[in-house]
Amino acid sequence: MPRAPNHRKAINHLKNVDPVMAEVIDRVGKCALEPRAEGTHFDAVMRAIIFQQLSGQAAGTIHRRLQDLYGGRDPKPKELLRTPDAKLRAVGLSGQKTRYLKDLATRVECGDCPIDSLDALTDDEIIAALTSVKGVGRWTAQMFLMFRLGRPDVLPDLDLGIQKGIKLAYKLRKHPLPKRVLKVGAKWAPYRTIASWYLWRLLDVDKPAKAKVPRSNTG
């Protein structure tokens, strides 16, 4: 079993360059970010498409039904292309997502999206390759970089959670625009992935405090 990543160097850097981020790190605690290693890169992108704009429970059900078509595993690109659209729709996939998955499989098969050699590419090259697939935008490609490949310096500036986290941490009056997110996060390089993880977790840590309602002394 691979060892869990050690984020000590990244955390020390973030604390040294940004006192606000230092407070966030102390409040959140240990970084538990660890890339998902199971399955193939194709499986990971396919799963990302399935889970778009759905609750985790609903998307998980559709994903399991899809796997059931192939003996309880994710399909290979050729297998997916051979499967009739109606059969894919029957597991709960929308017509649009069915087209997205088949476009992914087609581009992987013809080599337009070099899925098996993405590890050797730069972050920008990977984003370009993945966003050539219908239904895969920059945000999805960035999530792949962070949570599949474990790339250390990704800052998803379009992500609402990141914007909310910066607003909370820096006590801003409104959510920062993507341009400001990049400006605020410039100092975190080359560990912006770790900083992003802490901003997401900050929102989770902050929820209980916001949920507390003062008790009335009148009984």
How do residues 16-34 score in pLDDT, each as one tens digit? 999 999 999 999 999 999 9
Domain with CATH 1.10.340.30 in the chain: 41-147
Q: Where are the alpha helices (DSSP H) in 52-132?
A: 56-68, 77-82, 85-90, 95-110, 123-130
Which CATH code fits 41-147? 1.10.340.30
Name the helix (H) or strand (E) containing 17.
Answer: helix 8-17
Q: How open is the CA angle 77-82-85, to the nearest 5 degrees? A: 105
pLDDT, residue 206, reads 80
pLDDT, residue 208, reads 57
C-alpha distances (whole Å) from 151 to each of 9, 55, 123, 160, 189 are 15, 26, 8, 20, 12
pLDDT value at 218 more than 70? no
Q: Quote the percentage of the chain above a pLDDT of 70.
A: 92
Residue 106: half-sphere exposure toward Cβ, Cα within 13 Å: 10
Per annotation, catalytic residue among 112, 159, 204, 206: 159
pLDDT value at 1 more than 50? no
At 129, give phi and psi (nearest 5°): -65, -45
Concerning whether 153 is annotated as a catalytic residue, the answer is no
Domain with CATH 1.10.1670.40 in the chain: 8-35+153-207
Q: Give the global pTM.
A: 0.85
Would you say domain 8-35+153-207 falls under CATH 1.10.1670.40? yes
How do residues 125-155 score in pLDDT, each as one tens digit? 999 999 999 999 999 999 999 999 999 999 9
Residue 178 CB partners (closer than 8 Å, separation 6+):
157, 158, 163
Instruction: State the DSSP code for 112.
Output: S
At 196, give phi and psi (nearest 5°): -65, -45
Rounded to an integer, the average pLDDT of 205-217 is: 50
Give 28-65 as a DSSP string: H-S-------SS-HHHHHHHHHHHTTS-HHHHHHHHHH
